[in-house]
Structure 1
Amino acid sequence: MFGFRTLRARYRLAVAEADFLRCKDEWNEAYHRQDTRRMGIAGANLRAARNAQMRAEMDVVSLRRRPKVGVAQ
C-alpha cells in the first residue's frame, strides 16, 4: 500500500497537471481572441503551473523506493 507522503505527492501532481491544462486552455482562448494582455498574463500563469508540475513530478520520483547501496538483499 502507499504511504501518506506518496499519496499526497501524487495528489499534488494531479492538481498541478489539472492547473497546467487549465492555464493552457486560458492561453489558447486569449490567443484566438488576439488579446495580448491576457496572453501575457496567461503565459506567466502557464510557466508557473509548469514549474509546479515539474516540482510535483520530482516529489513523486524522489519517493519511489530505491535499493539500499551496500546492503545484501
Structure 2
Amino acid sequence: MDQFLKLGEALASMARIMAQEEGIVTAGVTIPQNKFSREDLEYLSSVITKELPVEVEYHREERFVVVAFTRKSV
C-alpha cells in the first residue's frame, strides 16, 4: 500500500508539472510490470484526470508498464 501511495504522489506531481508547463505535451514513466495491478493503475488514472487537465494512458509490455500523460487542449 505504501508503494501505491508513493506512485500516486509521483504521478500526480508529474501531471501537475505538465499542466503548468505549456512546452510539455506528453511525458511518460515506466514501472515494473509486477508492482501494480491494472485496477491500481486505472484508479490512479481516474483520480489524476479528474483533478488535472491531462489524459493518462498506459501500455503493458512483458516486463514493464509505460504510463503516459498528454496535456488536454484548453
TM-score where L is the length of structure 2:
0.33
* Larger fraction in helix: 1
* Larger fraction in strand: 2
TM-score where L is the length of structure 1:
0.33
